[in-house]
Amino acid sequence: MFIRENPDRFRQYTHMYTIDGLLNGRLDITLDALKHLFMPVMTQVVVIVALLMRVMRSSMIEEISKEYILTARAKGADKRTIYFKHARKNALIPVVTVAGWLVAFLMEGSIAVEYIFTRQGIGWWLASSAISLDIPVLMGVCLFFGLVYVIANLIIDILYAYIDPRIRLT
């Protein structure tokens, strides 16, 4: 409301109210923007975090049942060392794989979230262009999503070598 009534007193640098409110020294506008972002962000994040937690839990359960953990316990290692030094590193590989895919799927999930919550982003733009049959926009956004998938898979492969030094990038 303040922005519409006083356009000369509020300068938009980034056209994102969370950042522009801080740059203009208006904390109330930033807090209002954050309040309006809460539900869309929760809609995007809850399912993804639940899936990642489930994958991490199953990976840890699988790793704990392996023989090298039994050997570490037999040698007298405490639970903290077993969980954090031995099991977690090997359990992270499936989690990183799923997390990389989820980053790419997050882009696709933004279509529904942005359209439902009327947030104007790339998902809203794609949905609007699909309704109006704007083929060049559809092709451009699909090409962008494909690029995101390729970059996400590249980052996953690089993270494999970082998590497990036995995996080499050749």
Convert the pLDDT of each residue in 117-154 to its tens digit. 888 888 888 888 889 999 999 899 889 888 888 888 88
101 falls within a domain:
yes
Distance between CA atoms of 99 and 49, rounded to whole angstroms? 9
At 1, is the pLDDT very low, low, confident or very high (cuts 50, 70, 90)?
A: low
21 falls within a domain:
no
> Which of 52 and 8 is assigned the larger pLDDT?
52
154 falls within a domain:
yes
How many angstroms separate the most distant Cα atoms in the chain? 72
Q: Which domain holds residue 46?
A: 38-163
15 falls within a domain:
no
Helices (H), 75-134: 79-81, 88-116, 122-131
Measured in degrees and rounded to the nearest 5, phi and psi for residue 167 equal -85, 125
Q: How is residue 149 written in tokens?
A: 């998938």
Distance between CA atoms of 135 and 133, rounded to whole angstroms? 6
Tally the domains of the chain: 1
102 half-sphere exposure, CB direction, 13 A CA radius: 17
CA 12 to chain centre: 27
94 falls within a domain:
yes
20 falls within a domain:
no
At 81, is the pLDDT very low, low, confident or very high (cuts 50, 70, 90)?
A: confident
1 falls within a domain:
no
Average pLDDT over residues 65-69: 87
62 falls within a domain:
yes
Identify the helix (H) or strand (E) that includes residue 63: helix 27-64
At 14, is the pLDDT very low, low, confident or very high (cuts 50, 70, 90)?
A: confident
